Amino acid sequence: MSSTKIFQVRGQPLPRFPVRNHRMINTVVCGFPIISHHRVSNVLSRTSGPFLGYVPARTDENPFLRGDSNGRFGKFGGKFVPETLMSCLRDLEDEFNFVLSDHEFQVEFTAALRDYVGRETPLYFAERLTQHYKNIARTTGDGPEIYLKREDLCHGGSHKINNALAQAMIARRLGCSRVVAATGSGQHGVATAAACAKLSLECTVFMGTTDIEKQSSNVLSMKLLGAQVKSVQGTFQDASSEAIRNWVGKLETTYYLPGTVVGPHPSPVMVREFQSVIGKETRRQAKQLWGGKPDVLVACVGSGSNALGLFHEFVRDEDVRLVGVEAAGLGLDSGKHSATLAVGDVGVYHGSMSYLLQDDQGQILRPHSIGVGLEYPGVGPEISFLKESGRAEFCTATDQEAIQACMLLSRLEGIIPALETSHALAILEKLVPTLRDGAKVVVNCSGRGDKDINTLIQRGMPSSLC
């Protein structure tokens, strides 16, 4: 089944998926199944410590603020963890709140983003891609303009380094000598390994066996950067559970460095905050380029780090449309997809409440996408809130649509996007004809696609190119 046909009338909003009778099922806490004698609590964060108001409480006057001080976005988020982790998470929250205005940290981090990561990344006008969709629409006007936020040009090849570097700096400040992480496509693993090498931290990356096979170049990069890569039977969700278990067993010396906006508070807020540089730069660059704001922001959605990185700066600009694109895999009816927001239910997984792919008994379903970085059975709490509140629009693209979009951008602009990014690019065929002439569309080009060449050869690249 291909993704749902949408965007049929120029200017018409994206249709939302119908609201289902969502079940709230507690399934897995930090990678451990809940059993009757195991005490699990959703404890509110303590209010002591240098809280800076960077995550203010949501108000009725503005329901789209940054969540409350407990990491809650409506009913989503929170801390569903064993008591043994609460002290560690409180210390992490206090340190995070402190570094947001700590001059020493900010000076070091800003310099590293500029000189090491390579920020700011360009907001690139994709002229030939723009003309391509204008020709498809057969409009006599100028048509919408398509811009790419070039996160693929960051050190390591993706947006992941923004967050990995900041959290590695926090790990060092907390006195941790060792960092553990989980990765799917390998981009977060490479970013974490690079940050740890720079800061002289020991690094262990957990990665699913199926992903190791698909992303062998990134595995070699991680090892070259000094990281120990440990294989876990399965995919990213299995690697995440194993990384958390490893962290829990060595709390005194080990820092768990998430690359996604999931998990117990403060992890989702931290990742989003360190990725929000993407949207902040986009706002400033748009002002310089055309004197205004983007009309539409588009990003792929796995768990949500690159989407929130772009969206968050504009959440309160309700004249800016936020469009997230999930992976429909082989089709929503096939059961082989990662479209959590399209067909998921509400539950608890890896320490927070969000939309999840789960069966009627609350068992987590295995996701699928050709973009392995999208293969996660949940999304972050803030993404879940943006869906439920209606502030953001979500749709899907299939594996084949992503392949076609990847090849199109490569041929027209000389940019090979990651297959994750290609899902966002795939929706342009349906989105662009619905927009007014002159509308400014920004797509977050979250990663480069050299890691996916073997997958393209196996799944869709014409034999004449191989």
Tell me the per-residue pLDDT of 285-335, one tens digit each, with 9 for 90 and over. 999 999 999 999 999 999 999 999 999 999 999 999 999 999 999 999 999
Examine the domain organization and report whether 233 and 268 are in the same domain.
Answer: yes
185 and 268 both lie in a single domain: yes
Asked if residue 321 and residue 425 are part of one domain, the reply reads: yes
Q: What confidence score (pLDDT) does residue 355 get?
A: 98
At 139, the pLDDT band (50, 70, 90 cuts) reads low
pLDDT at 465: 52
At residue 45, does pLDDT exceed 60?
A: no
**According to the per-residue pLDDT averaged within each range, which of 25-29, 35-39, 210-214 is highest?**
210-214
pLDDT-derived band at 70 (thresholds 50, 70, 90) equals confident
What residue numbers bound the domain in which 317 lies? Answer: 117-156+273-465
Residues 261 and 349 in one domain: no
Residue 46: predicted pLDDT = 28
Are 104 and 142 spatial neighbours (Cβ–Cβ below 8 Å)?
no
Looking at 257, 272, 287, the residue that finishes a domain is: 272
Neighbours of 288 (CB within 10 A): 9
Mean pLDDT of 170-195: 96
Residue closest to 184 by CA, chosen among 390, 452, 466, 428: 452
Please report the pLDDT score of residue 461 as a whole number: 62
**Could you tell me which residues are beta bridge partners of residue 196?**
none
* Per-residue tokens: 43: 């404890």
CATH number of the domain within which 267 lies: 3.40.50.1100
**pLDDT tens digits, 378-401:** 999 999 999 999 999 999 999 999
Q: Is the pLDDT of residue 410 over 90?
A: yes
Banded model confidence at residue 66, pLDDT cuts 50, 70, 90? low
Question: 81-118: per-residue pLDDT in tens?
Answer: 999 899 999 999 999 999 999 999 999 999 999 999 99
The three state secondary structure string of the chain is CCCCCCCCCCCCCCCCCCCCCCCCEECEECCEECCCCCCEEECCCCCCCCCCCCCCCCCCCCCCCCCCCCCEECCEECCEEEHHHHHHHHHHHHHHHHHCCCHHHHHHHHHHHHHHHCCCCCEEECHHHHHHHHHHHCCCCCCCEEEEEEHHHCCCCECHHHHHHHHHHHHHHCCCCEEEEEECCCHHHHHHHHHHHHHCCEEEEEEEHHHHHHCHHHHHHHHHCCCEEEEECCCHHHHHHHHHHHHHCCCCCEEECCCCCCCCCCHHHHHHHHHCHHHHHHHHHHHHHHCCCCCEEEEECCCCHHHHHHHHHHCCCCCCEEEEEEEEECCHHHCCCCCHHHHCEEEEECCEEEEECECCCCCECCCCCCCHHHCCCECCHHHHHHHHHCCEEEEEEEHHHHHHHHHHHHHHHCCCECHHHHHHHHCHHHHHHHCCCCCEEEEEECEECHHHHHHHHHHCCCHHHC
Picking from 272, 307, 338, the residue at the C-terminal end of a domain is 272
Same-domain status, 191 and 289: no
In this structure, is residue 15 part of a structural domain? no
CA angle at 302 for the pair 297 and 306, rounded to the nearest 5°: 45
Residues 259 and 362 in one domain: no
Are residues 333 and 403 in contact, defined by beta-carbon separation less than 8 angstroms?
Answer: no
Highest mean pLDDT among 3-7, 293-297, 450-454 belongs to 293-297
What is the C-alpha to C-alpha distance for residues 86 and 351, in angstroms, rounded to an integer? Answer: 11
> Is 58 within a domain?
no
**204 part of a folded domain:** yes
- Does the pLDDT of residue 37 top 50, yes or no? no
Question: What is the arithmetic mean of pLDDT over 32-49?
Answer: 31
Same domain for 422 and 459, yes or no, is: yes
The reply to whether 304 falls in a domain is yes
**Domain end among 218, 247, 272:** 272
Buried b (16+ CB within 10 A) or exposed e, 344-356: bbbbbbbbbbbbb
Is the separation of the CB atoms in 346 and 355 below 8 Å?
yes
Give this prediction's pTM. 0.86
Task: Identify whether 13 is part of a domain.
Answer: no
Identify whether 171 is part of a domain: yes
| Mean per-residue pLDDT, 247-263 | 94
Residues 184 and 279 placed together within one structural domain of the fold: no
Q: Do 261 and 308 meet the contact criterion of CB atoms below 8 Å apart? A: yes
Residues 146, 323: Cα–Cα separation, whole Å: 14
With a cut of 80, say whether residue 65 has pLDDT above it: no
For residue 210, which amino acid is it? Answer: T
pLDDT over 60 at 454, yes or no: yes
In a domain, 279, yes or no: yes
Residues 461 and 379 reside in one and the same domain:
yes
In terms of domains, do 127 and 89 share one?
no
Q: How far apart are CA 69 and CA 202, in angstroms?
A: 32
Q: How many domains does one find in the chain?
A: 2
Q: Which of 351-360, 367-376, 410-419, 457-466 has the lowest mean pLDDT?
A: 457-466
- One-letter amino acid of 425: L
Q: What is the pLDDT of residue 142?
A: 84
Q: Is the pLDDT of residue 373 over 50?
A: yes
Judgement on whether residues 335 and 420 belong to the same structural domain of the protein: yes
Nearest to 398 by CA among 387, 406, 386: 406
Residue 25 in domain = no
pLDDT at 42 over 80: no
Whether 447 and 153 have beta carbons less than 8 Å apart is answered as: no
Say yes or no: 141 and 194 in one domain.
no
65-74, 158-167, 176-185, 434-443: least confidently modelled range? 65-74
Residue 455: how many other CB atoms lie within 10 Å: 20
